[in-house]
Amino acid sequence: TRRPDPASARADDKMPERLGDRADRFGCDLRGDPDISVARVATLANAGEDALSFLASDAYTEQLPTSSAAAVVLAEEHANEAPGAVLVSPNPYATYARIAAVLHPEPLAPPGTHPGSSVDPAANVDPSASVGPNAVIAAGARIGAAAVVGPGAYVGPDCSVGEGARLHANVTLVRAVTLGARTIVHSGAVIGADGFGNAMTDSGWLKVPQVGGVRIGDDVEIGANTTIDCGAVEDTVIEDGVRIDNLCMIAHNVHVGAHTAMAAMVAVAGSTRIGARCMFAGRAGCVGHITICDDVVVSGMAVVSKNITEPGVYAGSFVAEKARDWARHVARFKRLDALAARVRKLEKT
């Protein structure tokens, strides 16, 4: 399919919109001139008179009184501290995100298949989908309506890309991967590679065939250079609305519940089952074959080594401190066994 002129398929030019219209559209309480126009978003410190900003953390409260933003999205408790117009919202960050998506929309990808791509005749590509240069679509692959396959991306055999989903440049879907509607996969991610399945024999390691696939739900976002392995026998599953940051590792047969979020460098070992609405901070991890219930928060660098059956916040990492203090603490740790033996002896006495 020949692609049309990209100029004809780009997003409509952004037009400034009245602040009053923004407030009505996003359900905010406007305090200020409704005829103010905003055309972009910016931080409190760097916003100009045409920019919208937000306050969602007390760490930036001191910047609010001196901000030059045309308007600020914030909570009721800070409404009187801003020098200009405000949009009062019970969830300022979410409201800001919705407005920012309107002010800075994703560029529209032109429908059709780029002449420099390779699409197998046995693939099924919807006419409204966009396939970029050097992309490869293998036999048996299916690309849904309005989906985008970026430059250099690979969609392997029996993979399915849902309606409105977007694969950025150089994404790899290896085999038997299903992506739901509107799911976004960022550059360099590899989904469906073999899991780490090996059996020891007298002569060394024996590779265990990985024959499962990967099922990813609707409205999921997967970060750059993240890897999600295929299942060993059954599928690896990522449910709807999950957010996975860059450089994360999801091993074979893991099941991640809906709307769970994982920050950068989280690693989850094989056959772990994670509930809904969980949150994992950076570099947190899970050993394999455990279950984590819904609504669990795991702090940065903590490792979950057994089942969690009660919602809550779980931590286990050491924070940085002066090297000499850390060395002294380590020396004490090494003496704990001897100290425990002395205590037991004293208790017996």
Residues annotated catalytic, as ranges: 252
- Burial pattern 294-311, b for ≥16 Cβ within 10 A else e, equals eebbbbbbbebeeebeee
Indicate the pairing of strand 255-256 with strand 236-238.
parallel
Question: Which two tokens mark 21?
Answer: 């219209």
What torsion, rounded to 10 degrees, do the Cα atoms 299, 302, 306, 311 define? -10
Contact 287, 271 (CB under 8 A): no
Provide Rg for the chain, Cα atoms: 25
| Closest C-alpha to 256, from 224, 232, 280 | 280
CB 194 within 8 Å of CB 210: yes
H or E stretch covering 198: strand 198-201
What's the length of the chain? 349
Distance CA 267, CA 305 (A): 12
- The single residue listed with the structure tokens 């056959």 is 271
| Concatenated DSSP letters of 115-162 | TTSEE-TT-EE-TT-EE-TT-EE-TT-EE-TT-EE-TT-EE-TT-EE-
Q: What gap in Å lies between CA 261 and CA 247, rounded to an integer?
A: 13
Residues 6+ apart with CB under 8 A from 117: 131, 132, 133, 134, 135, 136, 137, 149
CA dist 230 and 224 (Å) reads 18
